[in-house]
Amino acid sequence: MFEYFLGEFALAEGKQGGQLYTPRSIVELLVNMLEPYQGRVFDPCCGSGGMFVQSEKFVEEHQGRISDISIYGQESNQTTWRLAKMNLAIRGIDSSQVKWNNEGSFLNDAHQDLKADFIIANPPFNVSDWSGEQLRGDARWQYGALTSKTSGEGDIRKRLITDGNLIDCIVNLPAKLFLNTQIPAALWFMNRNRAGMDIGGHMGTTGGANDVRANNHLLPRHPRPHEILFIDARNLGHLINRRTRELSHDDIQKIADTYHAWRTADPSPSVGARCTRPDDAVDATGADAILPYGDVRGFCASVPISRVAELDYVLTPGRYAGLPDEEDDFNFPERFAALKAEFEAQLQEEEALNRAIVESLARVKV
């Protein structure tokens, strides 16, 4: 009930509501892709705590143990922080590590010594004065930082790939999903386990407008360390009102299952294979089976890093997934025969009309 009213309040507030609330379908998608079964979950700009609530729901729905995960968060708006504490308290979730200070996690990180297993966040949109000049030497920006006096997004993308090999997956979202902007955003998933490090991590971020990260040292060695998965989900979702779109459960499942299939060790089959994990596909134990991954034009593509380098490290999924194949059920001989018969019938009708006109004119007395 609290979550429902929180969502309705955020919808009514519009752009201001986006500062405290990440839409449920986006949070659900992030959590379903990251699968935080156990470990420490951190949100450095936690708003009203939706990421934490959905993480615990995920564990419960998959017969996990709530005690296997612990949450850590930080919020700079005191009113929003109080909403988060209330949101967690009514669900019996320990919020002792959800901290508040008015500087925010950039300038006053309340969890400097935390080694998180999953970092999931939706940072504020379009904030130009975020004190970037004061953070130029901060280790969190080892691959570069954008400030009001610098540019260089391309250089940062390149270093994230060439120096860190961190980019795991990019998901382009439909427009109108967020309350405080109608532009399409992208989810970025970063994984420190790609390089095969023992302390590997998994990170996911909403790019362009948002940011989500995660890391999981329990993951096996990454099966595709030299590829990046691009998912173009711009055509998914449905409008719930004139200004707001929402992803359905099937949409979320389609995207998450594609990522999980890609993360398996099986090599990619031919282009056009299905990317989904249907409910009726089960293994010998009765659990959901993951079908082998395959590129689907217009939706998903697994791209070698060498190809990304050729395109100057552009990370736009549509550039790699391409346009969907149009279903062509046009039968030319059948259609030609139908048109020919229609045309012949029209010629016969024209001939009859011409005869009738001539006969009528012949009866006219001048």
pTM of the model: 0.74
When divided into structural domains, the chain yields a total of 2
- Looking at the structure, tell me whether residues 281 and 340 fall in a common domain: no
Q: Spell 244-261 as b/e; 16+ CB within 10 A means b.
A: bbbbeeebbbbbbbbbbb
> What mean pLDDT do residues 245-253 have?
94
Q: What is the pLDDT of residue 297?
A: 92
- Looking at the structure, tell me whether residues 222 and 134 fall in a common domain: yes
- The pLDDT mean for the chain works out to 79
> What mean pLDDT do residues 145-160 have?
77
Lowest pLDDT segment from 26-30, 114-118, 197-201:
197-201
Q: What percent of the chain has pLDDT over 90?
A: 35
- Looking at the structure, tell me whether residues 346 and 291 fall in a common domain: no
Lowest pLDDT segment from 23-32, 67-76, 146-155:
146-155
- Looking at the structure, tell me whether residues 59 and 180 fall in a common domain: yes
End-to-end CA distance of the chain: 89
pLDDT at residue 329 tops 90: no
Vertex 131 angle, CA 130 and 136, to 5°: 120
> What mean pLDDT do residues 234-241 have?
91
Q: What is the pLDDT of residue 274?
A: 38
> What mean pLDDT do residues 69-75 have?
90
Q: How far apart are alpha carbons 86 and 10 in whole angstroms?
A: 16
- Looking at the structure, tell me whether residues 271 and 311 fall in a common domain: yes
pLDDT at residue 290 tops 70: no
Boundary (domain end) residue, out of 321, 338, 354: 321
Confidence of residue 1 (pLDDT cuts 50, 70, 90): low
Q: Are strands 39-43 and 69-75 parallel, antiparallel or unpaired?
A: parallel
Domain extent for 350? 330-366
- Looking at the structure, tell me whether residues 338 and 248 fall in a common domain: no
Strands (E), 20-165: 39-43, 69-75, 98-100, 118-121
Confidence of residue 310 (pLDDT cuts 50, 70, 90): very high
Lowest pLDDT segment from 12-16, 37-41, 146-150, 228-232:
12-16
Q: What is the pLDDT of residue 17?
A: 44
Confidence of residue 104 (pLDDT cuts 50, 70, 90): confident
- Looking at the structure, tell me whether residues 342 and 227 fall in a common domain: no
Which one, of 221, 234, 122, lies nearest residue 180 by Cα? 122
Lowest pLDDT segment from 33-47, 111-125, 284-298, 350-364:
284-298
- Looking at the structure, tell me whether residues 267 and 360 fall in a common domain: no
Q: What is the pLDDT of residue 196?
A: 61
pLDDT at residue 92 tops 60: yes
**Could you give the 3-state DSSP secondary structure of residue 26?**
helix
Q: What is the pLDDT of residue 270?
A: 34
- Looking at the structure, tell me whether residues 220 and 111 fall in a common domain: yes
pLDDT at residue 117 tops 50: yes
- Looking at the structure, tell me whether residues 73 and 101 fall in a common domain: yes
- CATH of residue 43's domain is 3.40.50.150
Higher pLDDT, residue 66 or 148: 66
Q: Running DSSP on this structure, what letter comes out for residue 112?
A: T
- Looking at the structure, tell me whether residues 339 and 300 fall in a common domain: no
Q: Which two three-digit tokens encode residue 137? A: 């030497």
Q: How far apart are alpha carbons 281 and 51 in whole angstroms?
A: 29
- Looking at the structure, tell me whether residues 168 and 233 fall in a common domain: yes
